[in-house]
Amino acid sequence: DAGVTQSPTHLIKTRGQQVTLRCSPKSGHDTVSWYQQALGQGPQFIFQYYEEEERQRGNFPDRFSGHQFPNYSSELNVNALLLGDSALYLCASSLVGTGMSGPSPLHFGNGTRLTVT
């Protein structure tokens, strides 16, 4: 049973460039969330996708955008990269939660380490 897979593992980009990160959810999961983790910090919620739409967004600028495909896989795009975007980007998959039961447990991939120079 494949878990959450992310690609690439590492990425080095220059300020101002654009980057796309990819995620395949755990088998049977239909919801994908993206988190940014700076060094020494806990992960920060970027957004969540369900049914190919952005379901909720955290406090991140519009430079961060995403997409979910019919097979539930997802992409995170970051435009006009800044030095401060250097971080570990984590994808988490889950089953859809509802307002009554709250968010479902998260299963994480190994992340993509993005370095912006």
Partner 1 sequence: KQEVTQIPAALSVPEGENLVLNCSFTDSAIYNLQWFRQDPGKGLTSLLLIQSSQREQTSGRLNASLDKSSGRSTLYIAASQPGDSATYLCAAPASGTYKYIFGTGTRLKVLA
Query: If you ran DSSP here, which 8-state letter would residue 80 be given?
Result: S
33 binds partner 1 (CB under 8 A): yes
Q: Give buried/exposed letters for 17-49 (b at 16+ CB in 10 A, else e).
A: eebebbbbbbeebebbbbbbeeeeeebeebbbb
Cβ-based nearer residue to partner 1, 20 or 88: 88
60 binds partner 1 (CB under 8 A): no
Count residues contacting partner 1 (CB under 8 A)? 31
Cβ-based nearer residue to partner 1, 20 or 110: 110
97 binds partner 1 (CB under 8 A): yes
103 binds partner 1 (CB under 8 A): yes
Phi then psi for residue 9, to 5 deg, are -80, -45
Please give the Cα distance from 106 to 32 (Å, whole number): 9
Q: Residue 76 CB, nearest distance to partner 1 (Å)?
A: 15
* Tokens matching residue 9: 């593992």
Which positions lie near partner 1, rule CB under 8 A? 4, 6, 31, 33, 35, 40-45, 48, 55-56, 58, 88, 90, 92, 97, 99, 101-103, 105-111, 113
